Structure 1
């Protein structure tokens, strides 16, 4: 029995060391304007500008399968085995290819990190975890950055507008289409509004909605009601004037599409990145004609601060917001207000949660998010707003528990071993030794 207790204490100690090592595993540094895509239950993050003010060649992913906790998410770093061929930031990324498992990254840099006059395409095979620089044909786009890439069900990737960083330093309304199967570029018609730093969302109808952003007019942020709509079925543009609640203009925000056909936007910045526009959270109902905005109010310990330059992806009902910077002293600046946390919005009821206990894995997305998923999910917050357990408190309790287990384990082992030593001496005839 004593041997068993010693063994049990040793197992506890080893288990605690394993947990401690797991908790101290890879954690990405703060960054902004990284690329992000989702394949299966993994959100991949590409590059981004770090505290040094330069782009990075980092690639890593976040496993968002259930159960998922925002306190200690499951990060996996791939940079050591598959670094991005360039230092990347402000670059659109998208999933395409014949198996919908290839990440396409569109850069304004060559492999030596010099500026390029035309867009450079890189491809990451998520199965083999290898990068390539495939040769593309056709009308290769001019260099652009700060735009979004959207892929349709046929593997066509659409890129519009963007900012030319080195020569004209202006935004544009050009449309470029890459067939991710044949790797051939074609030109599409110009959009009705010049945009960069916008969001682009594909609907199940084949329409792509371009929302917000900035152009080269004296008033830089674009009216949120002026939505450029590209019809991928017939290759034409139109302009939709949305109605509903007043949503302040913004750029560098995020957007996802939930299963009910609502585009959910969060954050962004205005007035040269000195203002956090209101409301921070809003939805656009694409089921109504015209589309209708609704402001969403929230008061939750799990809600993020005002963010810009961040990214967002949706898995099931859950919107995952990552990285970016918050507003401090009238400025969105990574040096003073970095975000290295993950925030989760349940888009079925627009509540912020800290954990996902039960997600239907069949609702995971391969390639572009399904515009009209039919699977349902459920969530159980780790606590509630009436008696919240904050992230710092949980982390502190975890550290105290870990320290207690280590101390108790050491004491237990020493005690057992000493007791075991004493039991090596047995009483024999003619002695007065005590057991």
Structure 2
């Protein structure tokens, strides 16, 4: 298994230039299926397969800084900023194990990280999800009332990924042009069909939204099989402005983008230069 190093790849969306930034100081080990979240000018990374460490990268200095370890080894979780306190991160779902143990931790538990104090606490919740559902827990969003929404599915059926959300939307031969949307304000689902370029179906890719209504997907695998290969193109853009959905492939050389799965992607907007960057880290 070829895991990528802790270098971070950057895509500049307005020029679509491709850069590789080498990070200095503390250097975390390679990893898969970690979660990430942006707070201010820091991108926090949590866990990964067999990992319980946590750290952030300072975007201004490109330095990694270690913070307090997570109480459990955890991966495939969703990390979100608390809707009422931007200094608090929540780790929800995924697979969590006590360090040195093969027993799953109760899915009732949510892990709360105070970024100012660098301190973890455990929150017990009610109406726990099933173990299989939390395995597929995917990107959280919150509404104006502080309610957070997550999307999950309880099994590995390839057809299950057709209409879930953009991160697990399709797999293998399923069409990336079939879109499903959930309005968190009205709690209603809607569907749409995207036009434009043909984009291979995929799973375990990342998706980030820019301020000018472009959804950038990156990487992924063509199937659940470890040897299933990588989809084409590696990088694609879905324009969702004015409810007009169209796939495109950036004019930059798509073959120069390293294929990845199990990675993290985070968007950051530079206020002074008024440009956005996508930070891609880890994976294989």
Alignment root-mean-square deviation, CA: 2.7
Aligned counterpart, 2:197: 245
Tell me how far apart the structure 2 counterparts of residues 145 and 127 of structure 1 sit (CA, whole Å): 29
Instruction: Work out whether residues 141 and 150 of structure 2, in 8 Å CA contact, stay in contact via their aligned partners in 1.
Output: no
Instruction: Work out whether residues 241 and 290 of structure 1, in 8 Å CA contact, stay in contact via their aligned partners in 2.
Output: no
Q: Deviations over 1:197-233 (max 9, x none)?
A: x995xxxxxxxx555344xxxxx56421122211101
DSSP-derived class of the 1:279 partner: coil
Structure 1 segments (4+ residues) deviating >4 Å: 110-113
Q: Deviations over 1:226-272 (max 9, x none)?
A: 22211101111222221111000011111111111000111111132
Alignment of 1:269 with 2:240, yes or no, is no
Alignment of 1:161 with 2:152, yes or no, is yes
Instruction: Work out whether residues 161 and 168 of structure 2, in 8 Å CA contact, stay in contact via their aligned partners in 1.
Output: no
Higher strand share: 2
**Which consecutive unaligned segments of at least 5 residues does structure 1 have?**
1-22, 50-54, 164-169, 173-192, 201-208, 215-219, 326-435
Instruction: Work out whether residues 118 and 142 of structure 1, in 8 Å CA contact, stay in contact via their aligned partners in 2.
Output: yes
Tell me how far apart the structure 2 counterparts of residues 312 and 89 of structure 1 sit (CA, whole Å): 15
Tell me how far apart the structure 1 counterparts of residues 173 and 137 of structure 2 sit (CA, whole Å): 15
Higher helix share: 1
What does 1:74-85 correspond to in 2, within 5 Å?
74-78=63-67, 82-85=68-71
Please identify the structure whose Cα radius of gyration is greater: 1
Instruction: Work out whether residues 240 and 290 of structure 1, in 8 Å CA contact, stay in contact via their aligned partners in 2.
Output: no
Instruction: Work out whether residues 205 and 219 of structure 2, in 8 Å CA contact, stay in contact via their aligned partners in 1.
Output: yes
Aligned length: 247
Tell me how far apart the structure 1 counterparts of residues 280 and 119 of structure 2 sit (CA, whole Å): 26
DSSP-derived class of the 1:118 partner: coil
Tell me how far apart the structure 1 counterparts of residues 45 and 262 of structure 2 sit (CA, whole Å): 13
Tell me how far apart the structure 2 counterparts of residues 110 and 268 of structure 1 sit (CA, whole Å): 25
What's the TM-score, normalizing by structure 2?
Answer: 0.78
> Cα offset for 1:96?
1.0
Aligned counterpart, 2:140: 150
